[in-house]
Chain A
Amino acid sequence: DIQMTQSPSTLSASVGDRVTITCRASQSVNIWLAWYQQKPGKAPKLLIYKTSSLESGVPSRFSGSGSGTEFTLTISSLQPDDFATYYCQQYISQGTFGQGTKVDVK
């Protein structure tokens, strides 16, 4: 099974900050990597698929990059609505999620 590891587990930031979350796969997933945002009591929301493709309606301050085993999600200027937990997910083999990165207020 492919394991996904995110870092950091928690990130404290302020509105306007540039935020970067890293996701590492235990083996290559090529470009088959998605990112989700989840708020308490809600289902995850798809942000990015195929490493860097922005889902329709998602603000352009979100971007993704990487390939193989190392990937990043970047929020260029953190907004109040962005405080949430973020998950990466590989989908080259079934679909494994990372353990999550919680972005909270500094």
Chain B
Amino acid sequence: EVQLVESGGGSVQPGGSLRLSCVASGFTFSSYWMHWVRQAPGKGPEWISRISNDDSRREYADSVKGRFTISRDNAKNTLYLQMNSLGVEDTAVYYCARGRDGGTYFQYWGQGTLVIVSS
């Protein structure tokens, strides 16, 4: 059974940083692109970043480019998201997700971790 378990969310002041983690199990992690998707309260989901299976490619939405960094450790079956210079607009539930194939759509999702940016 595929499982994705996020952690690392919490409350942070504007300008602060957080690092999210996502531990994967039930599939060959090193064979798949992985993604981060977030959802602000009452809004639709927003794809924010993806990383290739071998870490040769990393892509970001304009809303987080230059502030967030995606990475992975295939030996630990773990995906990361380093978030810097956080603003109130980054308040959301952050999901780790796996695509069904090479496309940027999402067959499996984690349970999400809540990030609140507030003074």
A binds B: yes
Binding site for B on A (CB under 8 A): 1, 32, 34, 36, 43-46, 49, 55, 87, 89, 91, 94-100
Name A's interface SS: loop
- 9 nearest A-B residue pairs (beta carbon): A43-B109, A95-B47, A95-B104, A34-B105, A97-B44, A91-B104, A91-B105, A97-B45, A91-B103
With contact pairs A43-B95, A43-B110, A94-B61 given, residues A87 and B44 touching in the complex (Cβ less than 8 Å): yes
Cβ-defined contact, A95 with B111, below 8 A: no
Binding site for A on B (CB under 8 A): 35, 37, 43-47, 59, 61-62, 95, 100, 103-107, 109-112
- Besides the contacts A43-B110, A95-B35, A97-B47, what 19 more A-B pairs have beta carbons closer than 8 Å? A43-B95, A44-B45, A44-B106, A44-B109, A45-B109, A46-B105, A49-B100, A87-B44, A89-B45, A89-B47, A91-B104, A94-B104, A95-B37, A95-B105, A96-B47, A97-B44, A97-B45, A98-B44, A100-B44
